[in-house]
Amino acid sequence: MSRKAGDGKGPSQRMLRVGELVRHKIADLMSRGEVHDDVLAAHVVTVPEVRMSPDLKLATVYVMSLGDKGTDKVIAALERNKRFIRGEVSHAVNLKFAPELRFRRDETFDESSRIDALLNSPRVRQDLEKD
């Protein structure tokens, strides 16, 4: 059985590869301070993941600032500079179309903290101690 993009089995290798290229370029722009914005200059920005749409025309960029302080301000600053960032990404990633960028807060660390708290709760410990 062949596997096609969008068949519900996860991203294709191409989507993953392009997402990683876009992530590297945006992270490089942030670390070098090439995006001239006072908010971005005042925060250390991390880009843990970029998810591409199956047609590679939309890139959802997950970002967070160090300590998760000011992430909303960072996202607003990235939105203001979206045109410049998209142009830089299009030069770095050889695609037919430059992907539209969408910036979102990365919540994986919050989710992992929530799961850790659940695993350390008294009810779960009680069940684990029975075994």
Q: How confident is residue 8, by pLDDT bands cut at 50, 70 and 90? A: low
Q: pLDDT digit string (tens) for 94-113?
A: 888 899 999 999 887 666 66
Structural domains in the chain plus CATH codes: 13-106 (3.30.300.20)
Contact indicator for 59, 51 with CB cutoff of 8 Å: yes
Q: What's the whole-number mean pLDDT along residues 64-70?
A: 78
> What is the distance between the alpha carbons of residues 1 and 122, in angstroms, rounded to a whole number?
46
What pTM value is reported for the model? 0.76
Dihedral pair phi/psi, residue 82, rounded to 5° = -60, -40
pLDDT score of 5 more than 70: no
Residue 64 burial (C-beta neighbours within 10 Å; 0-12, 13-18, 19+)? buried
Q: pLDDT digit string (tens) for 20-60?
A: 999 999 999 998 989 998 998 888 888 999 999 999 999 99
Assigned token pair, 113: 């903290």
